[in-house]
Amino acid sequence: MRQLVIATKNDKKLYELRRYLKGISARVVSLKEFKHTPRIVENGKTFKANAIKKALTVSKFTGGLAVGDDSGLVVKALGGAPGVKSSRFAGSGKSDKQNNKKLLKLLADVPPAKRQAKFVCAVAICDNGKIVKVLEESCAGVIAFSEKGGYGFGYDPLFLIPKYKETFGELGLKVKDRMSHRSKALKKVREFLKKYL
């Protein structure tokens, strides 16, 4: 059985990706299983660029199959920000709470009709140092005026789905799994890898 390395040391991300990639004939591991791993600087201008950089670096390092992903929030009224800087929007090492606080502050005077946003997830698959597949998915919503719900992480408590009139933080995993940017992207990755492997 082949090994598939997820380009992360984050246990939450590994757990989530393992869940979505169930059924593929590969042993899914993270970078935590390796020593002296290369440092990956996420300095791409797009989610796709960062995903490719992660997967390519790890694939070259392991000489095998690797998956890299990058995702974040794109807010129309902020010209696409936070974008690729979603996790460090309020500054390096800041918490989800601080990122959300900054976002709410910047959108304080923006009316409900102009608070459109989307979550974007880009995934790259590389094998033996070569790119084999890159894809991107998104999920549309609006930014709420305050945090609601305890599910998920990051901007989930602010990301409102108009159809449900609830945030990802309120909707929970079952609904989020059906429509989120990451679930849509990873389901495609799973189907691709089933054929590829």
Active site residues: 70
Q: Which residues contact 96 (CB under 8 A, 6 or more apart)?
A: 153, 154, 155
What does DSSP assign to residue 37? Answer: P
Distance CA 155, CA 166 (A): 13
What does DSSP assign to residue 43? Answer: -
- Work out the angle at residue 160's Cα, subtended by the Cα atoms of residues 95 and 156, and round it to the nearest 5 degrees: 25
- Number of other residues whose CB lies within 10 A of the CB of residue 183: 19
Among candidates 17, 116, 113, 26, which has minimal Cα distance to 71? Answer: 17
C-alpha to C-alpha distances, 99 to 45, 84, 85, 157, nearest whole angstrom = 20, 13, 10, 12
* E strand or H helix that includes residue 75: strand 65-75
